């Protein structure tokens, strides 16, 4: 015999500790658990009748949500990681599982279970950072290239990359020491990061080299940005060494490209810049 009092208490405990939500077929929220409210900082009344876009973080790509909706609208479950914002605009990461709700074989809504993975994501992010500059490390920036290559093949989008190399950097280490060299690299990384766009990605490729990924950008547009970066580096006066320049190589994705071939073309362009005089964009 079912003890309904115990069952009700059990459900209340689950709702208190497990973040769940239900929407109608248009994505409008019809139910949220107390745990969902605690996670997002919103009251139940502030969420019912709204869409989950209320929580969307500006860093998230449109393509992720496009793939999500394509999947669940076809009657299939979707699972993945999403970055959201609380009511107080504090970012957090969730691992979310979404499943369609059927009635007479027709989708009438969607139910989702979420797990807060902010701490785990934070430590994963630390593992993908370059210790010196704080930029993405080589592994992380390669992942961005791989992601945008997927976008190219699936959605026929374009992107370009810029390879950057600090000119005659060995002389800095030889003449002023590695500590000064490290300070120069950190400052150059700050200059580059301050001049790229918000949706661009930059990482330290190794040594004195940097790689910048530019989504939805042609090689002509990428060259214009690279020129601004070149001027930005060349015009800055460092405390100890004075002025320092960098050379740039630009390449746009082609249908036949792999990660290796794309980066090789950018590297070849960079080599030409070095060979014909440095402080040049090719």
Tell me whether residue 46 is one of the annotated catalytic residues. Answer: no
Q: What is the phi/psi pair of residue 156, to 5°?
A: 55, 35
Residue 98's nearest CA partner among 64, 71, 59 is 71
Catalytic residue among 190, 208, 224, 254: 208
Q: DSSP string spanning 125-180? A: HHHTB-TTT-SB-HHHHHHHHHHHHHHHHHH---EEEEEEEETTHHHHHHHH-HHH
- Beta strand segments in the chain, E: 19-24, 29-32, 78-85, 91-103, 106-116, 159-166, 201-206, 209-215, 237-238, 242-243, 246-252
Neighbours of 166 (CB within 10 A): 21
CB 55 within 8 A of CB 40: yes
Token pair in block for residue 238: 């460092």
The whole-angstrom separation of Cα 190 and Cα 185 is 9
- By annotation, the residues acting in catalysis are 208
């Amino acid at each position: 015999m079912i003890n309904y009092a115990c069952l009700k208490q059990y459900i209340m405990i689950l709702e208190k500790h497990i973040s769940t939500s239900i929407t109608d077929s248009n994505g409008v929220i019809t139910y949220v658990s107390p745990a969902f409210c605690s996670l997002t900082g919103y009251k139940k009344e502030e969420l019912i009748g709204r869409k989950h876009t209320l929580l969307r973080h500006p860093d998230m790509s449109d393509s992720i949500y496009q793939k999500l909706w394509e999947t669940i609208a076809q009657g299939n479950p979707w699972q993945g990681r999403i970055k959201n914002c609380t009511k107080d605009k504090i970012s957090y990461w969730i691992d979310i599982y979404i499943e369609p709700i059927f009635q007479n074989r027709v989708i009438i809504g969607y139910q989702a279970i979420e797990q807060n993975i902010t701490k785990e994501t934070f430590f994963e992010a630390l593992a993908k950072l370059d210790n010196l500059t704080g930029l993405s490390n080589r592994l992380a920036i390669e992942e961005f290239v791989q992601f945008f290559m997927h976008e190219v093949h699936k959605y026929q989008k374009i992107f370009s990359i810029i390879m950057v190399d600090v000119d005659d950097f060995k002389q800095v280490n030889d003449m002023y020491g590695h500590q000064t060299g490290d300070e120069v690299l950190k400052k150059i990384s700050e200059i580059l990061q301050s001049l790229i766009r918000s949706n661009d990605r930059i990482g330290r490729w190794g040594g004195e080299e940097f790689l910048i990924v530019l989504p939805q950008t042609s090689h002509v547009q990428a060259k214009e940005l690279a020129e601004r970066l070149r001027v930005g580096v060349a015009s800055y006066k460092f405390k100890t060494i004075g002025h320092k320049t960098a050379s740039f190589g630009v390449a746009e994705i082609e249908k036949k490209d792999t990660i290796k071939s794309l980066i090789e073309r950018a590297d070849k362009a960079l080599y030409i810049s070095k060979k014909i005089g440095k402080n040049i964009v090719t």
